[in-house]
Structure 1
Amino acid sequence: MGEILKEGLFWAALGRPSEVMPFLRGKLLSNGHSDGVKRQLEGLLNELERFYERVFCCGKIDEKHIRAIHSFHRDILSVLSADGGA
Protein backbone atom coordinates (compact mmCIF):
# COMPACT_ATOMS: atom_id res chain seq x y z
CA MET A 1 0.00 0.00 0.00
CA GLY A 2 2.78 2.41 0.89
CA GLU A 3 4.41 1.97 -2.50
CA ILE A 4 1.13 2.74 -4.26
CA LEU A 5 0.74 5.93 -2.24
CA LYS A 6 4.30 6.95 -3.15
CA GLU A 7 3.62 6.21 -6.80
CA GLY A 8 0.59 8.50 -6.60
CA LEU A 9 2.86 11.19 -5.21
CA PHE A 10 5.14 10.94 -8.22
CA TRP A 11 2.18 10.96 -10.63
CA ALA A 12 0.95 14.11 -8.89
CA ALA A 13 4.31 15.82 -9.30
CA LEU A 14 4.26 14.85 -12.99
CA GLY A 15 0.98 16.70 -13.48
CA ARG A 16 -1.44 13.78 -13.19
CA PRO A 17 -2.61 14.00 -9.56
CA SER A 18 -5.70 11.79 -9.85
CA GLU A 19 -4.04 9.01 -11.84
CA VAL A 20 -3.81 6.54 -8.95
CA MET A 21 -7.05 7.45 -7.12
CA PRO A 22 -9.47 5.21 -9.06
CA PHE A 23 -7.24 2.21 -8.31
CA LEU A 24 -6.98 3.08 -4.61
CA ARG A 25 -10.70 3.68 -4.27
CA GLY A 26 -11.52 0.38 -5.95
CA LYS A 27 -8.94 -1.55 -3.95
CA LEU A 28 -9.89 -0.13 -0.57
CA LEU A 29 -13.64 0.36 -0.82
CA SER A 30 -14.68 -2.93 -2.43
CA ASN A 31 -13.25 -5.40 0.05
CA GLY A 32 -16.28 -6.06 2.23
CA HIS A 33 -15.44 -3.56 4.95
CA SER A 34 -18.10 -2.32 7.33
CA ASP A 35 -19.98 0.86 6.46
CA GLY A 36 -18.15 2.79 9.18
CA VAL A 37 -14.76 1.73 7.88
CA LYS A 38 -15.77 2.57 4.32
CA ARG A 39 -16.79 6.08 5.44
CA GLN A 40 -13.46 6.56 7.20
CA LEU A 41 -11.55 5.28 4.17
CA GLU A 42 -13.55 7.54 1.84
CA GLY A 43 -12.64 10.51 4.03
CA LEU A 44 -8.96 9.59 3.98
CA LEU A 45 -9.03 9.04 0.22
CA ASN A 46 -10.67 12.44 -0.28
CA GLU A 47 -7.92 14.04 1.83
CA LEU A 48 -5.29 12.11 -0.12
CA GLU A 49 -6.72 13.32 -3.41
CA ARG A 50 -6.61 16.94 -2.21
CA PHE A 51 -3.04 16.36 -1.02
CA TYR A 52 -2.04 15.05 -4.46
CA GLU A 53 -3.60 18.19 -5.98
CA ARG A 54 -1.46 20.37 -3.69
CA VAL A 55 1.66 18.44 -4.71
CA PHE A 56 0.71 19.03 -8.33
CA CYS A 57 0.47 22.77 -7.66
CA CYS A 58 3.96 22.72 -6.09
CA GLY A 59 5.39 20.90 -9.08
CA LYS A 60 7.95 19.07 -6.98
CA ILE A 61 8.21 16.57 -4.16
CA ASP A 62 9.66 17.72 -0.85
CA GLU A 63 10.55 15.77 2.27
CA LYS A 64 7.32 17.02 3.87
CA HIS A 65 5.37 15.29 1.08
CA ILE A 66 7.13 11.99 1.80
CA ARG A 67 6.32 12.35 5.51
CA ALA A 68 2.68 13.08 4.66
CA ILE A 69 2.48 9.92 2.53
CA HIS A 70 3.80 7.88 5.47
CA SER A 71 1.14 9.47 7.63
CA PHE A 72 -1.63 8.61 5.15
CA HIS A 73 -0.30 5.06 5.02
CA ARG A 74 -0.41 4.74 8.83
CA ASP A 75 -3.91 6.22 8.95
CA ILE A 76 -5.23 3.82 6.31
CA LEU A 77 -3.65 0.81 8.02
CA SER A 78 -5.09 1.96 11.34
CA VAL A 79 -8.61 2.14 9.89
CA LEU A 80 -8.22 -1.26 8.25
CA SER A 81 -6.90 -2.89 11.41
CA ALA A 82 -9.89 -1.52 13.35
CA ASP A 83 -12.06 -3.55 10.96
CA GLY A 84 -10.14 -6.71 11.73
CA GLY A 85 -8.13 -6.49 8.52
CA ALA A 86 -11.12 -7.57 6.43
Structure 2
Amino acid sequence: MLFEVLREGLFWAALGRPSEVMPFLRGKLLSNGFSEGSKRQLEWLLDELEEFYRRVACCGRVEEKHVRAIKSFHRDILSVIETDGA
Protein backbone atom coordinates (compact mmCIF):
# COMPACT_ATOMS: atom_id res chain seq x y z
CA MET A 1 0.00 0.00 0.00
CA LEU A 2 2.83 2.42 0.82
CA PHE A 3 4.26 2.24 -2.70
CA GLU A 4 0.85 2.94 -4.24
CA VAL A 5 0.43 6.03 -2.04
CA LEU A 6 3.90 7.28 -2.96
CA ARG A 7 3.20 6.70 -6.65
CA GLU A 8 -0.17 8.45 -6.41
CA GLY A 9 1.60 11.41 -4.82
CA LEU A 10 3.89 11.47 -7.84
CA PHE A 11 0.93 11.88 -10.17
CA TRP A 12 -0.65 14.55 -7.94
CA ALA A 13 2.67 16.38 -8.08
CA ALA A 14 2.74 16.22 -11.88
CA LEU A 15 -0.73 17.79 -11.85
CA GLY A 16 0.68 20.75 -9.91
CA ARG A 17 -0.50 19.65 -6.47
CA PRO A 18 2.71 18.35 -4.89
CA SER A 19 1.61 18.35 -1.26
CA GLU A 20 -1.76 16.61 -1.65
CA VAL A 21 -0.58 13.26 -0.28
CA MET A 22 1.87 14.51 2.35
CA PRO A 23 -0.57 15.07 5.25
CA PHE A 24 -1.84 11.51 4.83
CA LEU A 25 1.68 10.05 4.72
CA ARG A 26 2.88 12.08 7.67
CA GLY A 27 -0.14 11.12 9.74
CA LYS A 28 0.10 7.42 8.94
CA LEU A 29 3.85 7.07 9.32
CA LEU A 30 4.55 9.34 12.26
CA SER A 31 1.70 8.20 14.51
CA ASN A 32 2.57 4.51 14.56
CA GLY A 33 4.53 4.41 17.81
CA PHE A 34 8.00 4.27 16.28
CA SER A 35 11.06 5.09 18.36
CA GLU A 36 12.24 8.71 18.42
CA GLY A 37 15.21 7.85 16.21
CA SER A 38 12.98 6.21 13.61
CA LYS A 39 10.54 9.12 13.75
CA ARG A 40 13.38 11.56 13.07
CA GLN A 41 14.54 9.45 10.11
CA LEU A 42 10.98 9.24 8.76
CA GLU A 43 10.46 12.99 9.19
CA TRP A 44 13.66 13.64 7.25
CA LEU A 45 12.62 11.21 4.48
CA LEU A 46 9.17 12.79 4.30
CA ASP A 47 10.71 16.27 4.04
CA GLU A 48 12.92 15.03 1.21
CA LEU A 49 9.92 13.37 -0.46
CA GLU A 50 7.90 16.57 -0.26
CA GLU A 51 10.75 18.50 -1.87
CA PHE A 52 10.99 15.82 -4.57
CA TYR A 53 7.26 16.17 -5.28
CA ARG A 54 7.78 19.94 -5.66
CA ARG A 55 10.49 19.33 -8.26
CA VAL A 56 8.18 16.95 -10.15
CA ALA A 57 5.50 19.65 -10.09
CA CYS A 58 7.91 21.97 -11.89
CA CYS A 59 8.30 19.37 -14.66
CA GLY A 60 4.56 18.94 -15.04
CA ARG A 61 4.89 15.29 -16.03
CA VAL A 62 6.01 11.95 -14.64
CA GLU A 63 9.19 10.54 -16.11
CA GLU A 64 10.85 7.16 -15.61
CA LYS A 65 13.50 8.73 -13.38
CA HIS A 66 10.72 9.94 -11.08
CA VAL A 67 9.30 6.43 -10.76
CA ARG A 68 12.78 5.11 -9.94
CA ALA A 69 13.15 7.79 -7.26
CA ILE A 70 9.80 6.80 -5.74
CA LYS A 71 11.00 3.20 -5.57
CA SER A 72 14.08 4.43 -3.73
CA PHE A 73 11.99 6.43 -1.25
CA HIS A 74 9.83 3.34 -0.75
CA ARG A 75 12.88 1.19 0.05
CA ASP A 76 14.28 3.81 2.42
CA ILE A 77 11.01 4.21 4.32
CA LEU A 78 10.53 0.45 4.58
CA SER A 79 14.09 0.10 5.84
CA VAL A 80 13.42 2.52 8.71
CA ILE A 81 10.12 0.82 9.56
CA GLU A 82 11.62 -2.67 9.48
CA THR A 83 14.67 -1.64 11.52
CA ASP A 84 12.43 -0.12 14.18
CA GLY A 85 10.37 -3.29 14.43
CA ALA A 86 13.41 -5.57 14.74
TM-score bracket for the superposition, by shorter chain length: over 0.9
Find the counterpart in structure 1 of residue 81 from structure 2. 80
C-alpha distance in 2 between matches for 1:16 and 1:36 = 30
| 5+ residue gaps, structure 1 | none
What's the C-alpha RMSD, in Å, of the aligned pairs? 0.8
| 5+ residue gaps, structure 2 | none
Find the counterpart in structure 1 of residue 6 from structure 2. 5
CA deviations over 1:13-61 (Å, ceiling 9, x no partner): 0010000000000000000000000000000000000000000001111
C-alpha distance in 2 between matches for 1:3 and 1:71 = 13
SS state at 1:27 partner: helix
C-alpha distance in 2 between matches for 1:62 and 1:80 = 27
Matched, 1:29 2:30: yes
Find the counterpart in structure 2 of residue 58 from structure 1. 59
SS state at 1:83 partner: helix
Q: How many residues in Structure 1 have an aligned counterpart in Structure 2?
A: 85
SS state at 2:34 partner: coil
- 1:65 Cα offset (Å): 0.1
C-alpha distance in 2 between matches for 1:37 and 1:12 = 26
- Letter of the 1:14 counterpart: L
- Letter of the 2:41 counterpart: Q
C-alpha distance in 1 between matches for 2:59 and 2:77 = 24
- 1:8 Cα offset (Å): 0.1
